[in-house]
């Protein structure tokens, strides 16, 4: 018997089941089909300005920084300003996301290159799929236009989020992914990012910049 | 290190640990940090207790239908272009992983933190096959340099102080300037980041664990703060996930419920920095990500726990809250437990996985104070299960003769209430009489185990039963 068959046999013997029971199969099918929500904290059910204010507050609590701008056209200037404030070179790496492509980078002095990261980039710009106010979490999905390496290799991560994409809870974002990709399907990688990289492994002291970006700067676009 | 459990020598290990000044200094970080942080973050979320119930119920439902959820999950992994390898034992899991690495012609294998990897002693197998495993979690990297096992499931190097780490880095990183300053922990972190960055970029295969496997989508989930797990899995050509069968959860919504209690219970964060959901290898058009995605699913004794009084232990999500709150763990640290899983969860799990004959001391190393159960995010009745192990140990005649005969004497009296009351009354009065001057004893016959370390107070004010009777009388 194969290892697979033996493991299934052992699980079923221990549970006292055959795997053919209709009620069990129906219960499992139904749970996967309906994906019931469970408990969503009250703070994850806000809307409007209160939702955005909570997102901002929670993101700051994770030691991310955040700027708000009124529209996409204002993003390159805001980023140029952030780089000046932080004493960083005016050089950016980004993917081919069309939302980034629409922005007027050429009106700034920023030097922009495109593609995945090979580890040599100091600052990367990514466009988030969504933000979650509950914990100030950024949600990024992989794809040809959004290389995952840009989320992790550069020292400084700048992440753009549309205000209309901020949701109260993780569940709201899963629903959007199901609507986009189809129920039961996922992008290859979904990254939840909640603040800059850190470690407490040396004497339980909080140190930023372990392996991922030592800084996460969010640009929240629109109202 | 982990291949040969030293759990049978728990008592000797514990004595050594208590005498180890470096260790005791390091353990004070556990006592201070974790408890306050968890309490603060739990207090900030009014729904926290209800979410613990929800997490428990999700795990119970999944375990009761584990065969069906495993099937669903496997189909979804195949749909996404991934491979599933089933392993009954540690040996089969090691073999499956080494085979994949060999086929890829791998030289360097980076690794995210995985307790299953420790359980199956994976690094030794990778080395024996002529490849170099590199642990990339900072704590795991440090203990790999020291050829040690982790002493905590989420803070593997919690038994060490910064000066020890500094001397290890100087010993191993000989290509760096010997006069560099490493006096601050952040300098140690920066050095590890530089050294490991080269390994990440050179790796041929990346191995991570999984906090969860999702049946709805065939997804594996890792949770880290450093980002090392992500660099491990997105840079090499091959990503191997090593996970045990009880990591299954039904849906994305279900995993979200559990994630709300995981980081809060573990590190006292509302959410860990990186929660990553991986489904299959890179897609057409993708410019990065692994070309192959494999999951090695391990049983190694877990299926035999289903349907027994230890099934609840399979709910465990490896947050470490039980050890963070355990007075025994605080006193002796994780290595004394002698195998991969320390603290209360280890005291219950280790006897299941390596046998109560080897790990029988562990469920005995408990004061039954109940703090572990009170903080467990999935409400595992850890003290009750330790009691089950003690009973099994007794029934299988593994309990030492002195304890057995002592229990026999106690049982003789306990079955004869009049005699019990008479004897305990007499004993108490005798102790009260002889201890009346000092109010305590510095030594007592048959009680050296107690009086060698602390005084035994002289009894006063009647036996427990007398006082109970008096108080009940006063109430009614």
Closest by Cα among A158, A178, A179, A176 to A167: A176
Helix (H) or strand (E) holding A139: strand A137-141
Instruction: Give the whole-angstrom CA distance, residue A138 versus residue B285.
Output: 24
Number of Cβ atoms within 10 Å of the Cβ of B291: 13
Kindly state whether residue A136 falls inside one of the protein's structural domains: yes
* B129-172: pLDDT as tens digits: 999 999 999 999 999 999 999 999 999 999 999 999 999 999 99
Instruction: Give the whole-angstrom CA distance, residue A132 versus residue B390.
Output: 46
Number of structural domains in chain A: 2
Contacts of B215 (CB under 8 A, 6+ apart): A32, B69, B70, B72, B73, B76, B248, B249, B250, B251
Instruction: Give the whole-angstrom CA distance, residue B215 versus residue A33.
Output: 11
Chain A residue closest to B58 (CA)?
A38
Tell how far CA B252 is from the center of its chain: 25
SS3 of chain A: helix, strand, coil, percent, to 5: 40, 25, 40
Kindly state whether residue A41 falls inside one of the protein's structural domains: no
For the segment B25-50, the average pLDDT, to the nearest whole number, is 93
Q: Assign A112 to helix, strand or coil.
A: strand
A80 class by beta-carbon count within 10 Å (0-12 exposed, 13-18 middle, 19+ buried): middle
pLDDT, residue B3, reads: 62
Instruction: Give the whole-angstrom CA distance, residue A57 versus residue A43.
Output: 12
Residue B69 has pLDDT above 80, yes or no: yes
On whether both A20 and A88 belong to a single domain, the answer is no
Closest CB from A135, A151, A207 relative to B186: A207
A201 contact residues in B (CB cutoff 8 A): 137-139, 142, 155-158
On whether both A65 and A151 belong to a single domain, the answer is yes
On whether both A152 and A101 belong to a single domain, the answer is yes
Strands A189-193 and B274-278: antiparallel
Q: Assign A42 to helix, strand or coil.
A: helix
Kindly state whether residue A91 falls inside one of the protein's structural domains: yes
Compute, in degrees rounded to 10, the torsion defined by CA atoms B336, B338, B340, B341: -60
A213/B66 CB distance under 8 A? no
Residue B2 has pLDDT above 70, yes or no: no
Chain A residue closest to B154 (CA)?
A201
A171 contact residues in B (CB cutoff 8 A): 252-253, 256
For the segment A79-108, the average pLDDT, to the nearest whole number, is 96
A159 class by beta-carbon count within 10 Å (0-12 exposed, 13-18 middle, 19+ buried): buried
On whether both A29 and A115 belong to a single domain, the answer is no
On whether both A158 and A65 belong to a single domain, the answer is yes
* B266-284: pLDDT as tens digits: 999 999 999 999 999 999 9
For the segment B311-318, the average pLDDT, to the nearest whole number, is 98
Instruction: Supply B474's token pair.
Output: 């006063």
For the segment B202-228, the average pLDDT, to the nearest whole number, is 98
Pair B127, B107: CB distance under 8 Å: no
On whether both A90 and A11 belong to a single domain, the answer is no
Instruction: Supply B415's token pair.
Output: 């079955």
On whether both A95 and A199 belong to a single domain, the answer is yes
Between the alpha carbon of residue B360 and those of residues A75, A85, B203, B396, B441, the distances in Å are 62, 60, 41, 11, 31
B32 class by beta-carbon count within 10 Å (0-12 exposed, 13-18 middle, 19+ buried): exposed
Instruction: Give the whole-angstrom CA distance, residue B261 versus residue B377.
Output: 6
* B19-29: pLDDT as tens digits: 999 999 999 88
Q: Does A73 touch chain B (CB under 8 A)?
A: no
Pair B361, B10: CB distance under 8 Å: yes
Closest by Cα among A88, A157, A153, A76 to A116: A153
A188/B47 CB distance under 8 A? no
Backbone angles phi and psi of B421, in degrees to 5: -60, -45
Pair A117, A147: CB distance under 8 Å: yes
Residue B1 has pLDDT above 50, yes or no: no
Interface confidence: ipTM more than 0.95: yes
CATH of the domain at A103: 3.40.50.10420
pLDDT, residue B476, reads: 54
For the segment B326-350, the average pLDDT, to the nearest whole number, is 96
Domains plus CATH for chain B?
Answer: 7-298 (3.40.50.10420), 417-475 (no CATH)
pLDDT, residue B445, reads: 80
Backbone angles phi and psi of A145, in degrees to 5: -90, -10
* A116-148: pLDDT as tens digits: 999 999 999 999 999 999 999 999 999 999 999
Kindly state whether residue A40 falls inside one of the protein's structural domains: no
Under the banding of pLDDT at 50, 70 and 90, the label for residue B435 is confident
Instruction: Supply B414's token pair.
Output: 């306990």
* Mutation to test the A interface, candidates B273, B279, B306, most A Cβ within 10 Å: B273
On whether both A63 and A94 belong to a single domain, the answer is yes
pLDDT, residue B464, reads: 86
Chain position carrying tokens 């353990």: B27
Q: Could you give the percent of chain B with pLDDT greater than 90?
A: 82
Strands A215-221 and A156-162: parallel
Question: In this complex, how many residue pairs, one in chain A and one in chain B, have their CB atoms less than 8 Å apart?
Answer: 262
Instruction: Give the whole-angstrom CA distance, residue B336 versus residue B7.
Output: 7
Pair B358, B2: CB distance under 8 Å: no
B252 contact residues in A (CB cutoff 8 A): 35, 171, 174
Distance from CA of B275 to the nearest CA of A (A): 5
* B124-138: pLDDT as tens digits: 999 999 999 999 999
- B462 vs B283, higher pLDDT: B283
Distance from CA of B114 to the nearest CA of A (A): 15
Question: Is the model's pTM score more than 0.90?
Answer: yes
Kindly state whether residue A39 falls inside one of the protein's structural domains: no
For the segment B47-57, the average pLDDT, to the nearest whole number, is 98
Backbone angles phi and psi of A156, in degrees to 5: -120, 125
Q: Does A48 touch chain B (CB under 8 A)?
A: no
Pair B274, B211: CB distance under 8 Å: no
* Residue B138 Rama label (left phi>0; alpha psi -120 to 50; beta): alpha
For the segment B297-318, the average pLDDT, to the nearest whole number, is 97
Instruction: Give the whole-angstrom CA distance, residue B6 versus residue B335.
Output: 9
Sign of CA dihedral B454, B458, B459, B461: negative
Kindly state whether residue A61 falls inside one of the protein's structural domains: yes
Q: Does A14 touch chain B (CB under 8 A)?
A: yes
Chain position carrying tokens 């999700």: B58
On whether both A124 and A26 belong to a single domain, the answer is no
On whether both A25 and A66 belong to a single domain, the answer is no
The mean pLDDT of chain A is 97
On whether both A9 and A68 belong to a single domain, the answer is no
Kindly state whether residue A9 falls inside one of the protein's structural domains: yes
Under the banding of pLDDT at 50, 70 and 90, the label for residue B452 is confident
The mean pLDDT of chain B is 94
On whether both A57 and A123 belong to a single domain, the answer is yes
> E-strand spans in B128-252?
132-135, 205-208, 212-214, 219-224, 238-244, 248-249
pLDDT, residue B439, reads: 87
Q: Which domain holds residue A24?
A: 1-34
């Amino acid at each position: 018997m194969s290892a697979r068959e033996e493991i299934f046999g052992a699980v079923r013997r221990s549970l006292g089941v055959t795997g053919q029971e209709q009620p069990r199969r129906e219960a499992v099918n139904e749970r996967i089909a309906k994906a019931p929500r469970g408990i969503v904290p009250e703070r994850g059910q806000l809307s409007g300005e209160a939702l955005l204010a909570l997102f901002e507050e929670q993101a700051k609590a994770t030691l991310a920084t955040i700027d708000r701008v009124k529209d996409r056209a204002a993003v390159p200037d805001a980023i140029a300003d952030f780089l000046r404030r932080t004493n960083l070179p005016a050089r950016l790496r980004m993917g081919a996301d069309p939302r980034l492509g629409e922005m007027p980078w050429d009106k700034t002095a920023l030097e922009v290159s495109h593609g995945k990261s090979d580890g040599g980039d100091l600052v990367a710009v990514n466009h988030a799929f969504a933000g979650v106010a509950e914990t100030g979490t950024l949600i990024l999905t992989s794809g040809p236009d959004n290389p995952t390496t840009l989320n992790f290799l550069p020292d400084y991560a700048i992440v753009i989020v549309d205000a209309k994409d901020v949701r109260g809870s993780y569940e709201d974002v899963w629903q959007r992914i199901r609507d986009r990709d189809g129920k039961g399907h996922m992008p290859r990688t979904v990254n939840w990012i909640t603040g800059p990289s850190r470690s407490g492994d040396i004497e339980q002291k909080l140190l930023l910049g372990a392996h991922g970006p030592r800084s996460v700067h969010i640009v929240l676009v629109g109202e | 290190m982990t291949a040969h459990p030293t759990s049978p020598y728990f008592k000797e290990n514990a004595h050594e640990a208590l005498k180890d000044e470096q260790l005791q200094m390091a353990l004070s970080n556990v006592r201070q940090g974790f408890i306050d942080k968890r309490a603060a973050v739990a207090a900030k979320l009014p729904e926290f207790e209800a979410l613990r119930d929800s997490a428990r119920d999700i795990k119970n439902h999944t375990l009761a239908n584990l065969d069906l959820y495993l099937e669903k999950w496997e189909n979804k992994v195949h749909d996404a272009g991934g491979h599933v390898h089933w392993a009954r034992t540690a040996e089969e899991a090691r073999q499956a992983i080494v085979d994949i690495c060999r086929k890829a012609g791998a030289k360097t294998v980076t690794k995210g933190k995985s307790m299953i990897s420790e359980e199956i002693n994976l690094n030794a197998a990778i080395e024996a096959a002529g490849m170099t495993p590199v642990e990339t979690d900072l704590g795991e990297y440090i203990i790999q340099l020291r050829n040690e096992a982790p002493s905590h499931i989420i803070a593997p190097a919690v038994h060490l102080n910064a000066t020890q780490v500094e001397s290890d880095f100087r010993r191993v990183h000989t290509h760096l300037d010997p006069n560099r300053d490493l006096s601050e922990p952040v300098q140690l972190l920066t050095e590890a980041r530089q050294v490991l960055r080269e390994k990440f970029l050179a790796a041929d295969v990346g191995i991570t664990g999984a906090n969860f496997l999702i049946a709805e989508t065939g997804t594996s989930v890792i949770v880290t703060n450093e980002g090392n797990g992500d660099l491990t899995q997105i840079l090499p050509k091959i990503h191997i996930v090593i996970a045990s069968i009880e990591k299954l959860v039904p849906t994305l919504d279900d995993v979200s419920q559990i994630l709300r209690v995981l980081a809060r219970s573990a590190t006292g964060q509302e959410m860990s920095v990186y929660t990553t959901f991986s489904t299959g290898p890179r897609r057409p058009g993708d410019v990065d990500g692994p070309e192959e995605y494999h999951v090695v699913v391990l049983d190694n004794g877990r299926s035999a726990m289903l349907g027994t009084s230890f099934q609840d232990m399979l709910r465990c999500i490896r947050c470490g809250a039980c050890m963070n709150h355990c007075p025994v763990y605080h006193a002796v640290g994780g290595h004394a437990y002698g195998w991969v899983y320390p603290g209360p969860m280890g005291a219950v799990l280790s006897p299941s996985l390596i046998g109560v004959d080897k790990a029988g001391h562990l469920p005995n190393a408990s004061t039954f104070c109940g703090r572990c159960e009170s903080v467990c995010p999935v409400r595992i009745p850890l003290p009750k299960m330790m009691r089950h192990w003690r009973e099994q140990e007794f029934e299988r005649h593994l309990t030492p003769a002195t304890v057995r005969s002592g229990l026999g004497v106690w049982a003789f009296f306990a079955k004869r209430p009049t005699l019990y009351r008479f004897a305990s009354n007499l004993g108490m009065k005798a102790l009260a009489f002889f201890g009346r001057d000092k109010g305590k004893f510095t030594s007592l016959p048959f009680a050296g185990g107690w009086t060698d370390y602390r005084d035994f107070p002289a009894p006063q004010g009647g036996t427990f039963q007398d006082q109970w009777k008096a108080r009940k009388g006063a109430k009614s």
